[in-house]
A and B are shown apart, each in its own frame.
Chain A
Amino acid sequence: MSGQEIVFTLLGVVAVGAGILVVTTRRLVHAALWLVVSFGALAGGYLVLTAEFVAWVQVLIYVGAIVVLLLFGIMLTRAPIGESADLDSGNRWAALAVAAATAAVLVTVLVMGFGDRRMPLHAGGGSARELGAGVFRTWVLPFEVLSVLLLASLVGAIVLSRSDIGPRDSGTGPRKEDG
């Protein structure tokens, strides 16, 4: 095993381990924090794979924005701070089975398919310059569409969180209330 592989393996273990902890921990806030760890390990993995720009974007947006949003959400929904026993629903055993099956199938398929392939890693393949050139030349149209998407989601989020549309007993707009 080359050095890259060892480093990647370690980072992978951290990422997967943190991911498992996210889905199994009993404390809600710790789940969010384990998520940070997982994202960070993944960013490191991207670095090993020479996708630098992606790695920084990952840290910036996932760790920096998304996890913060999640923490805000946890806070605004009065999540319990300490341990809570009922974070797993009744579905957990079926979920475990399905997840295990998914893992088995996917791993088998991937190992059978790509187990003996190798990829050479050359630095610079994922630099900001190259990716920028690509985004603003070849992929500029999806880029613009994406900005429209962001606009739509912004508008949607604002509309959804209007405080003058409350529960039915406050007397307005029952249409927005659904499960």
Chain B
Amino acid sequence: MHLAYPTVVAALLFSAGVYGVLARRNAILVLMSVELMLNAVNLNLVTFDIWYRDRLHGGQVLTLFTIVIAAAEIGLGLAIVLLVFRNRKMIDVDRLRTLAEDAADDEAAGGVARPRPAEPETETEAVDAR
């Protein structure tokens, strides 16, 4: 068959995964989208393996490995998500903002960025108040 079919399917699946990672709010949905992306990659690997008629079956073996790694990753990922849920009672990705820089922080610290261990508390309390 034409090589185009599987590869295009993979590309479209990947793009759907990209959209999901960037647009979904719930962390578990983000993880699902990541799985979609990994599957697209797997499809590509298998396709090229078949096309090359690889004697060592590198593509398919790598696909197996990718599946295993995806499983490991999702196990750990969900553990982290559950931990976040335990602490903040929510897993909305766009509300997890401790990496942010505010101008108020900057002025208070005299223009020098410093680690802010106090912030999660305020966020937690803010969430609780909601």
Contacts and interface: CB of A to CB of B under 8 A. Distances in A.
Partners in one complex: yes
B8 A107 contact: yes
A138 B81 CA distance: 37
B50 A91 contact: no
A111 interface: yes
B113 interface: no
- Do most interface residues of chain A lie in helix, strand or loop, or is the interface mixed? helix
A161 B97 CA distance: 22
Interface string B38-69: 01001100110111010011001101110111
Interface string A167-179: 1100000101111
Contact of B28 (A73, A90, A95): A73
Contacts of A70: 28, 31-32, 74, 78
Contacts of B43: 42, 45-46
Contacts of B71: 61, 65-66, 150
Contacts of B78: 69-70, 72-73, 157
A146 B63 CA distance: 13
A153 B32 contact: no
Contacts of B53: 125
Given A23-B33, A135-B64, A91 B94 contact: yes
Contact of B73 (A9, A31, A119, A153): A153
| Interface size range on B against A | 35 or more
Interface in B72-91: 72-76, 78-87, 91
Which 7 A-B pairs have CB atoms at the shortest separation, nearest pair first?
A: A95-B22, A23-B20, A99-B19, A103-B15, A95-B23, A153-B72, A12-B9
Interface of B: 1-9, 11-26, 28-29, 31-33, 35-36, 39, 42-43, 46-47, 49-51, 53, 56-57, 60-61, 63-65, 67-76, 78-87, 91-94, 96-99, 117, 120-121, 124
Interface of A: 2, 4-5, 8-9, 12, 15-16, 19-20, 22-23, 28, 31-32, 35, 38-39, 42, 45-46, 49-51, 53-54, 57-58, 61-62, 65-66, 69-70, 72-74, 76-79, 86-92, 94-96, 98-100, 102-103, 106-107, 110-111, 114-119, 121, 125-126, 130-131, 134-135, 138-139, 142-143, 146, 149-150, 152-154, 156-157, 160-161, 166-168, 174, 176-179
20 contacts: A2-B1, A22-B29, A23-B20, A45-B43, A49-B46, A51-B50, A58-B67, A62-B39, A66-B74, A69-B74, A77-B85, A92-B23, A99-B15, A103-B15, A118-B1, A131-B60, A138-B56, A153-B72, A153-B76, A179-B98
